[in-house]
Amino acid sequence: MFQYQIVKRAKEQKKHIVLPEGDDDRILLAADALLKQNIVDLTILGNSETIQASMKRLNLSLDATKVKIINPATSDRYTEYVNTLFELRKGKNVSIEMARDLMLDVSYFGTMMVYKGDADGMVSGAAHTTQHTIRPALQFVKTKPGVATVSSVFFMCMPRRVAVFGDCAVNPNPTFEQLADIAISSADTSKMFGIEPKVAMLSYSSGSSGQGEEVDKVRKATELVRQRRPDLKVEGPIQYDAAVDPVVGKKKMPNSEVAGQASVLIFPDLNTGNNTYKAVQRETGALAIGPMLQGLNKPVNDLSRGCTVDDVFNTVVITAIQAQ
């Protein structure tokens, strides 16, 4: 149902997404499915002959009117993009020669398309590291006003509900201020996708029972979220079972409006978040859509290198909605 709804949303206001990894079969297969359903317009980066040959081999009939194939090295925008990058980064010791080199990199070229408004969003990472995908975005797309931390969420589609898990991909050991940023961004993302945000700041103890550095960090982050966004329902520190199970929630935190019904789960660090989302995904058969990056001025999203064709498809769809 969630998948159906996001595809419908993406179609309502069609966006143009750039896919820098045209040499990856999964990208081409997902592109074919996206165009057949008329969800987005696409630009694929890479060598045109190689991509055409791959399409033939995969038996794809990518519609030439709906997909552009651009090779950064021969693009008529290459020089303009090089000059823009040089202007943006010369204060950071980037010379014009370095800008020329960087603009041959598909991640830089794709990100510059988004920066200049030649594409509405970018999805990459099937064949590149997270660092490689998001570095250019951090360098010149930058964060939204009032947001100091770029973070990520997964939409965990379980049989009866969709939960938002953050941050499971970007910040290894966030400070309490960063944790508050992550919680606020995740609540806003959840609202954007039609999920009422009830935010649980997770820890190994619930309420005031636990002591220790880690619990105190979550406690301070929760207070900060309440100060900055009194409109949000937020509870913390709280354990996972008390956050999602109504019976346990009632027993441990009887007066909470989040306990037992949390929809946005904020993990104290990357170690906990990444392992939990993978455990839930594997053990319950939940569909994990993401990671979706939040906090950037324009949408750039990162795929995992083990991604499936469906993962690429879903990530392009959520990127298109972010761009709306």
pLDDT at 143: 93
The Cα–Cα gap between 306 and 125 comes to 10
Q: What is the pLDDT of residue 130?
A: 84
**Domain encompassing residue 236:** 151-287
Residue ranges in the chain whose pLDDT is less than 70 = 64
Give a yes or no: residue 257 inside a domain.
Answer: yes
Structure tokens at 143: 């964060």
- Angle among Cα 83, 320, 50 to the nearest 5 degrees reads 60
Is residue 39 domain-shared with residue 128, that is, in the same domain?
A: yes
Query: What is the distance between the alpha carbons of residues 315 and 302, in angstroms, rounded to a whole number?
Result: 8
Same domain, 277 and 174: yes
The region that residue 10 occupies, defined by phi over 0 for left and psi between -120 and 50 for alpha, beta otherwise, is alpha
Angle made by CA atoms 120, 191, 257, in degrees to the nearest 5: 160
Are the C-beta atoms of 274 and 168 separated by less than 8 Å?
Answer: yes
Which CATH number does the domain housing residue 159 bear? Answer: 3.40.50.10750
Tens digit of each residue's pLDDT (9 = 90 or more) over 36-53: 999 999 999 999 999 999
CATH number at residue 86: 3.40.50.10950
Task: Note the pLDDT tens digit of each residue in 117-151.
Answer: 999 999 999 999 888 999 999 999 999 998 899 99
**203, 282: one domain:** yes
Beta bridge partners of 177: none
Residue 62 has a pLDDT of: 76
Same domain, 24 and 92: yes
Pair (276, 306) in one structural domain: no
The answer to whether residues 156 and 104 belong to one domain is no
Q: What is the pLDDT of residue 48?
A: 92
Helices 25-36 & 309-323, crossing angle to 10 degrees?
60
In a domain, 10, yes or no: yes
Residue 292 lies in a domain: no
Contact present, 308 and 173 (Cβ < 8 Å): no
pLDDT for 66: 74
Q: Which two tokens stand for residue 319?
A: 């990127």
Mark whether 81 and 44 lie in a shared domain.
yes
Residues 189 and 264 placed together within one structural domain of the fold: yes
- The structure tokens listed for 22 are 């045209």
Identify whether the C-beta of residue 84 lies closer than 8 Å to the C-beta of residue 77.
no
Distances (CA, A) of 143 to 8, 133, 171, 248: 28, 15, 15, 38
Per-residue pLDDT at 116 = 97
Task: Find out whether 141 and 298 touch, Cβ atoms under 8 Å.
Answer: yes
Give residue 172's pLDDT: 94
How many folded domains does the chain comprise? 2
- What φ, ψ does residue 43 adopt, rounded to 5°? -120, 130
